[in-house]
């Protein structure tokens, strides 16, 4: 994947305010228009206090509402720390990790450079957001107004029945036989789109994510010729079948902004929408059998944190069949739970937020497993609402952390005991599968403490792709890496110092680490690097399943230090074997398989928590895995 241009941040202002970042400007304005490439933009903002870290994100504003919401795509992410400057490759001055161009003085200065690699190839609106350590944030706008190329496509999208233009429709182009070449156009208020393309054959389709009443337009194949603009209009039509209803509290007060999810039971296609201010929703679907669901996990999965704590939706799920042209009504009522399990989630005594806490109970009527879920808050506290059932298990999960299920909670009868129970979870960090480590010394081989080491992943547009640590008293550093990709690693002490090497370039996948990535720091620029690092391969390890919980399929990743006979099975919570996914000889290294939620007979397994067992040679790992249907 191509990297976004290099961003430098200019923080201007005579007074550093203690209540947070309050403004951001692009070339001294709250918004800017880009009409040619390459171009450089000076970005400026204030910070909450001297030495703070700020994050810089750029989003594609799909609906052009100047608000970053769940409809928007993140294109870029980078941290900036007051006083942490540019780290530049001595061999290529433009290949660098951008940083603060001033000293540690409460001002951050940087330059945002856009080149052809960041060309949106048509009119688009972007939003740049600066967020301070105190979580205060501000945004600025970027409007793309490049001169249209002589090769490309344009057209208009309108509703089939009325001819009305449709705004905010995404037209997605993917080049056949092209290496990772795809482009996206968005219709304006007049339903028009334009995009620059290269000559060749492109697959293209249109989707209206902003309005769930419309079907995706069927995929087309366009032959684009050099020097020509292909004009392609689209008609989009509404679904013939609709699922509508209302979500409300016990007193019939409407519940706004609640996510409703429908899953086709055969194709596993997901349809979803949100309630309006009156608690009403209406979602277009194709004819077929569906499971409709309201739960906190799915809401959070869709980027929606609106959920009334301590309540559940009744019914939580329902399966039905809808015919062509039919409109069904499904209402939901939020009811309070009758019992609760509460506690705190901590790591080394510090609170852990957004931990998924799950409990399994047995419904005394149906004798089936019932799954209860919630998330921990910013202070690590959680309150899991449950029914007064016999609870068989209690789990807590968060990516990158590890804790055991609460075995003392097995078969705990919430009917006969107090209707509230306190259970705390203490986490440890999971074994590192990818890492970067080394040592920083000066020219006399003395350790350099407190120096910054920065690692940047060119593939990752999120926080996991930009990692910053400082060397310890022995000059050593360790970076725990969570995402695969092409990484650049550099060191920084001051604006006047040099490092050898200036940058390392390493490709990491699960199970691969590099150590002895050492730096020599000096005031001179003539130093020569003495090492290229040492490759280090992981021992046997099973990664957390992703996604977990899952509703269509999940991926099971594991590392084999040696070639050998390997078996991967899914078991019930009681240890009954349900399906064998792998039973064969595998080579050493990183392995990946998927599970679609079916047993050995091809039957869809019901919602619940199951166990994944991976066995290779004399080593075995068992992890919980949650299926939601």
Query: What strand order describes the sheet that includes 110-114?
Result: 24-26, 39-45, 110-114
505: Cβ contacts below 8 Å, ≥ 6 apart: 486, 487, 488, 489
Task: Give the pTM.
Answer: 0.74
Separation between Cα atoms, residue 162 and residue 60, nearest integer Å: 29
User: Between vectors from CA 95 to CA 93 and to CA 100, what angle results, nearest 5°?
Assistant: 80
Q: Which two structure tokens, joined as six digits, stand for 271?
A: 């349809």
Give the closest residue to 297 by CA, choosing from 314, 278, 313, 281: 313
The CATH number covering residue 588 comes to 2.60.40.4070
Where does residue 416 rank: exposed (0-12), middle (13-18), buried (19+ CB within 10 A)?
A: exposed
Q: Do both 30 and 123 map to the same domain?
A: yes
Q: Do both 111 and 197 map to the same domain?
A: no
Q: Do both 79 and 181 map to the same domain?
A: no
Distances from the Cα of 143 to the Cα of 117, 127, 595, angstroms: 17, 9, 43
Q: For residue 255, what are the domain limits?
A: 241-336
Positive or negative torsion for Cα 485, 488, 489, 493: negative
Q: Do both 587 and 533 map to the same domain?
A: no
Q: Got the DSSP string for 24-84? A: EEETTBSEEEE-SSSEEEEEEE--SSTT-EEEEEEEE-TT-SSS--TTPEEEEEEEEETT-
**13 belongs to a structural domain:** no
Q: Do both 525 and 574 map to the same domain?
A: no
Q: Do both 529 and 486 map to the same domain?
A: yes
**196 belongs to a structural domain:** yes
Question: Which H or E run includes 262?
Answer: strand 259-264
463: three-class secondary structure by DSSP: helix
**1 belongs to a structural domain:** no
Separation between Cα atoms, residue 422 and residue 342, nearest integer Å: 5
Domain count, the chain: 6
Q: Do both 221 and 205 map to the same domain?
A: yes
Give the closest residue to 78 by CA, choosing from 48, 92, 99, 107: 99
SS3 for 144-204, per residue? ECCCCCCCEEEEEEEECCCCCECCCCEEEEEECCCCCCEEEEECCCCCEEEEECCCEEEEE
Give the per-residue pLDDT at 527.
57
**16 belongs to a structural domain:** no
Domain boundary among 178, 206, 236: 236
Q: What is the DSSP letter of 529?
A: -
Q: What is the DSSP letter of 447?
A: B
The CATH number covering residue 528 comes to 2.60.40.10
**5 belongs to a structural domain:** no
Q: Helices then strands (H, E): number in the chain?
A: 1, 54
Give the per-residue pLDDT at 48.
72
List the end-to-end C-alpha distance of the chain, in Å, as a whole number.
34
Q: Do both 394 and 308 map to the same domain?
A: no
Separation between Cα atoms, residue 457 and residue 464, nearest integer Å: 8
Q: Do both 70 and 122 map to the same domain?
A: yes
**104 belongs to a structural domain:** yes
Q: Which two structure tokens, joined as six digits, stand for 231?
A: 């004009």
Domain boundary among 236, 263, 278: 236
Q: Do both 179 and 249 map to the same domain?
A: no
Q: Do both 425 and 438 map to the same domain?
A: no
Domain boundary among 507, 537, 567: 537
Give the per-residue pLDDT at 542.
79
Distances from the Cα of 274 to the Cα of 244, 281, 304, angstroms: 11, 6, 9
Give the per-residue pLDDT at 543.
73
**17 belongs to a structural domain:** no
Give the closest residue to 460 by CA, choosing from 7, 76, 58, 72: 76
Give the per-residue pLDDT at 26.
92
Question: Which H or E run includes 396?
Answer: strand 390-397
Q: Which two structure tokens, joined as six digits, stand for 201?
A: 């054959």
**6 belongs to a structural domain:** no
430-447: per-residue pLDDT in tens? 766 789 999 999 989 999
The CATH number covering residue 422 comes to 2.60.40.1120
Under-70 pLDDT residues of the chain: 1-19, 92-94, 178-180, 404-420, 431-432, 524-530, 544, 546-548, 574, 629
Q: Do both 32 and 138 map to the same domain?
A: yes
């Amino acid at each position: 994947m191509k990297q976004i241009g290099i961003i430098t941040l200019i923080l201007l202002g005579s007074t550093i305010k203690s209540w947070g970042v309050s403004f951001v400007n692009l070339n001294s304005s709250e918004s800017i228009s880009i009409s040619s490439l390459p171009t450089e933009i000076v970005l400026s903002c204030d910070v909450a206090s001297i030495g703070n870290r700020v994050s810089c994100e750029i989003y594609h504003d799909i609906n052009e509402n100047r608000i970053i919401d769940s409809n928007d795509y993140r294109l870029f992410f980078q941290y900036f720390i007051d006083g942490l400057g540019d780290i530049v490759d001595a061999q290529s001055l433009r290949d660098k990790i951008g940083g603060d161009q001033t000293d540690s003085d409460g001002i951050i200065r940087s330059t945002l450079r856009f080149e052809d690699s960041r060309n949106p190839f048509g009119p688009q609106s972007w939003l740049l957001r600066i967020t301070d350590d105190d979580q205060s944030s501000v945004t600025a706008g970027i409007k793309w107004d490049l001169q249209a190329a002589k090769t490309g496509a344009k057209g208009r999208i309108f509703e089939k029945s009325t001819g009305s233009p449709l705004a905010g429709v995404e037209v997605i182009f993917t080049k056949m036989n092209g290496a990772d070449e795809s482009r996206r156009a968005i219709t304006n208020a007049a339903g028009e789109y334009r995009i620059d393309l290269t000559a060749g054959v492109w697959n293209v389709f249109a989707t209206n994510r902003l309005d769930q009443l419309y079907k995706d337009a069927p995929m087309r194949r366009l032959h684009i010729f050099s020097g020509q603009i292909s004009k392609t209009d689209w008609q989009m039509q509404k679904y013939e079948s609709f699922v509508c209803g209302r979500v409300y509290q016990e007193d019939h007060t409407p519940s706004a902004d609640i996510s409703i999810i429908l899953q086709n039971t055969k194709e596993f296609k997901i349809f979803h929408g949100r309630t309006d201010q009156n608690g009403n929703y209406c979602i277009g679907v194709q004819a077929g059998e569906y499971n409709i669901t309201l739960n906190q996990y799915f809401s959070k999965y869709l980027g929606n944190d609106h959920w009334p704590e301590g309540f559940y939706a009744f019914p939580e799920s329902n399966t039905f069949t809808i015919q062509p042209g039919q409109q069904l009504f499904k209402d939901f009522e939020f009811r309070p739970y009758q019992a609760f399990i509460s506690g705190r989630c901590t790591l080394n005594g510090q609170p852990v937020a957004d931990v998924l806490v799950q409990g399994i109970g047995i419904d005394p009527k149906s004798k089936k497993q019932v799954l209860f879920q919630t998330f921990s808050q910013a202070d690590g506290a959680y309150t899991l609402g449950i029914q007064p059932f016999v609870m068989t298990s209690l789990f807590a999960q968060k990516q990158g952390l590890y804790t055991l299920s609460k075995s003392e909670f097995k078969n705990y009868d919430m009917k006969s005991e107090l209707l509230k129970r306190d259970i705390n979870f203490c986490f440890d960090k999971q074994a590192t599968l990818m890492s970067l480590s080394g040592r920083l010394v000066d020219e006399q081989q003395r350790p350099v403490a407190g120096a910054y080491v920065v690692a940047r992943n060119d593939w990752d547009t999120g926080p996991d792709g930009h990692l910053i640590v400082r060397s310890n008293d022995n000059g050593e550093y360790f970076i725990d890496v969570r995402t695969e990709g092409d990484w650049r690693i550099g060191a920084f002490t001051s604006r006047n110092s040099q490092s050898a090497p200036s940058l390392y370039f390493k490709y990491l996948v699960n199970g691969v680490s590099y150590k002895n990535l050492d730096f020599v720091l000096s005031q001179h620029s003539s130093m020569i690097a003495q090492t290229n690092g040492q490759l280090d391969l992981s021992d046997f390890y099973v990664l957390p399943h992703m996604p977990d919980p899952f509703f269509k399929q999940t991926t099971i990743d594991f590392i084999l230090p040696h070639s050998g006979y390997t078996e991967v099975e899914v078991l019930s919570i009681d240890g009954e074997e349900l399906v064998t996914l792998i039973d064969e000889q595998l080579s050493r290294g990183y392995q990946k398989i998927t599970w679609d939620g079916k047993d050995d007979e091809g039957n869809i397994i019901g919602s619940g928590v199951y166990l994944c067992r991976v066995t290779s040679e004399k080593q075995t790992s068992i992890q919980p895995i949650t299926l939601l249907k």
